[in-house]
Amino acid sequence: MKKITFIIALVLCFTSELWAQKPFFNDLESNVFQKEHSLLIFYKPDCPYCIHLRNDFNSNPLFQKSLLEKYNVKLIDVTTIDGQQLAIKHKVQSIPFMISYSTKTSEEKRIKGYNSVQKTALFLNLNYTTSLNSRGSNAICGNGILESGEACDDGNVANNDGCESDCTVTPVISICGNGILESGEACDDGNIANNDGCESDCTVTPVISICGNGILESGEACDDGNVANNDGCESDCTVTPVISICGNGILESGEACDDGNVANNDGCESDCTVTPAISICGNGILESGEACDDGNVANNDGCQSDCTLAPLSLEKPNDFLNSIVMFPMPFRDSIAIKFLIDIPSDSVITVCNMTGQSLKRQTVSNGNDKNKEMEISGLESLSAGIYLLKIESSTGNFSQVKKIIKQ
């Protein structure tokens, strides 16, 4: 049963992509179930000792040859679901971890961790004595002899003792708080207290801005040495906003005018807005909201006292309207007319609707000329239909009404 379980485990192993770019580990994937002995290697991609194992295996061709001659080798990544299930099944509690198995004798051997290819070769009973190391020499690390390609050899293959298992010098590990400025440290003040200039991780204590200390620090727009408001610098060290004061004679933000007082109707109001223009009917000036302004407030003179156009007075409207002659030409936007009056005077032309309501009024001054010729424009807004055109002299001695058609 143990034999069957192990073979099933090998079948279920997924193909790891870690180290797949290395020729040696490509070979591992192609040598499954061809030999009497099998080897499972449990690993994690980011495990330091797993990376060490990978580098050692890849840099020792003789070891590779010895391993592949005797073993079917399978890599198992314990960060995957399948890898985790196999690790649980085989009671793997640390990585890297190797399990060898003989299909002939059913013998199983287990090794926890990784030290060197030499010890791995002993564990696997490989016909291996030495191999080229990563520096391309035949040096044997751990024999106490400093050989070609070795930076050190302390007679063992233990790590973190000054000389590593690959005979490279143990890298210096920075220790924060020992008072020595080491690699990766911005400071080291001999302790691991915080907020004393050098933090417990040997980074410099960040500067904390204190508003009101009179020092302009990071994040402050101002610092006047106090936390009073409305003195130019606020209690949060922001600049006091400028408040516009209407009536001080200074044009400030949000003001359209400032005449130095808060009186109304003097051109600048008490809220510093411009006094709105008020139309005055009868001043002879055509202002906003006025249809006409003839300089007086009399009615029935063409322009009423409220500066609206006087309606056309129609007596007996039915008979009157039926008797009106149609103007010969329909119009669109303007009307060109010619007429003759007995006594030279100014002429007033009024366009009305059929109820007599004035819609357009225009005065033409022709001096002493009795022949009148003029054009009434600005009729674009009128809708299509029939309208009345009244022509009269300013002296009242001439009056004429015609029907006109707007197309």
**pLDDT score of 398:** 62
Amino acid at 272: C
**pLDDT score of 149:** 82
Q: Any residues with CB less than 8 A from the CB of 379 and at least 6 apart, and which?
A: 331, 332, 333, 334, 335, 351, 360, 406
**One pLDDT digit (tens) per residue for the chain, 407 residues:** 444 444 434 433 333 333 333 445 445 544 455 788 888 899 898 888 888 888 888 888 888 888 888 888 888 898 999 889 988 988 888 889 999 888 888 888 888 888 888 888 888 888 776 544 455 556 778 778 888 888 898 888 788 888 988 888 888 788 898 898 888 889 999 998 998 889 999 999 887 888 999 999 888 899 999 999 988 899 999 998 888 889 999 898 888 999 999 898 888 999 999 888 788 888 877 777 777 776 778 776 667 788 876 665 544 455 556 656 666 667 777 777 776 666 667 778 888 887 777 888 887 776 666 666 777 777 788 888 888 888 777 666 667 777 787 77
Length of the chain: 407
DSSP string, 348-390: EEEEE-TT--EEEEEEE--TT-SEEEEEE---TTSPSEEEEEE
- Per the CB < 8 A criterion, the answer to whether 299 and 305 are in contact is yes
Please count the other Cβ atoms lying within 10 Å of the Cβ belonging to residue 133. Answer: 22
- Per the CB < 8 A criterion, the answer to whether 75 and 28 are in contact is yes
**pLDDT score of 328:** 66
pTM above 0.75, yes or no: no
Q: Any residues with CB less than 8 A from the CB of 32 and at least 6 apart, and which?
A: 10, 72, 74
**pLDDT score of 120:** 86
Nearest to 361 by CA among 335, 333, 390, 385: 390
In whole angstroms, give the CA distance from residue 207 to residue 179.
Answer: 22
**pLDDT score of 300:** 66
**Could you give the domains of the chain?**
2-123 (3.40.30.10), 273-309 (no CATH), 317-406 (2.60.40.2550)
- Per the CB < 8 A criterion, the answer to whether 76 and 97 are in contact is no
3-state secondary structure 81-95: HHHHHHHHHCCCCCC
**What six digits make up the tokens of 303?**
């322009």
Please count the other Cβ atoms lying within 10 Å of the Cβ belonging to residue 407. Answer: 8
